[in-house]
Amino acid sequence: MSTAIIPGVEFIDNANQRTPCVLVLDASGSMTGEPLRQLNLGLKVFEEQLKNDLVAAMRVQVLVIAVGGLDDVEVLQPWVDAADFNAPTIEPGGLTPLGAGMERALTEVQQQKSVYDANGISSTRPWVILLSDGCPTDLDWDQSASRCREAEADKKVVIFPIGTEGADFEALGQFSNKSAKKLKGLNFTELFVWLSRSMATVSASVPGQKVKLPSADEWAEVDI
Q: Hey, what CATH class is 16-202 in?
A: alpha beta
Q: Per-residue confidence at 222, pLDDT binned at 50, 70, 90?
A: low
pLDDT, residue 6, reads 54
pLDDT, residue 10, reads 72
Mean of the pLDDT values across residues 185-214?
93
pLDDT, residue 1, reads 40
Give tens-digit pLDDT for 133-148: 999 999 999 999 999 9
Contact present, 49 and 123 (Cβ < 8 Å)? no
Q: List Cα–Cα distances, 25 to 43, 77, 129, 144, 201, in angstroms.
A: 11, 12, 8, 16, 23
- Mean confidence (pLDDT) of the chain: 92
Give tens-digit pLDDT for 16-71: 899 999 999 999 999 999 999 999 999 999 999 999 999 999 999 999 999 986 55
pLDDT, residue 7, reads 56
Q: Per-residue confidence at 90, pLDDT binned at 50, 70, 90?
A: very high
Backbone angles phi, psi at 120, to 5 degrees: 70, 30
The single-letter code of the amino acid at 68 is G
pLDDT, residue 71, reads 56
The single-letter code of the amino acid at 214 is P
Q: What percent of the chain has pLDDT above 90?
A: 83
Backbone angles phi, psi at 162, to 5 degrees: -135, 130
Distance, CA of 179 to CA of 158 (rounded, Å): 13
Q: Per-residue confidence at 223, pLDDT binned at 50, 70, 90?
A: very low
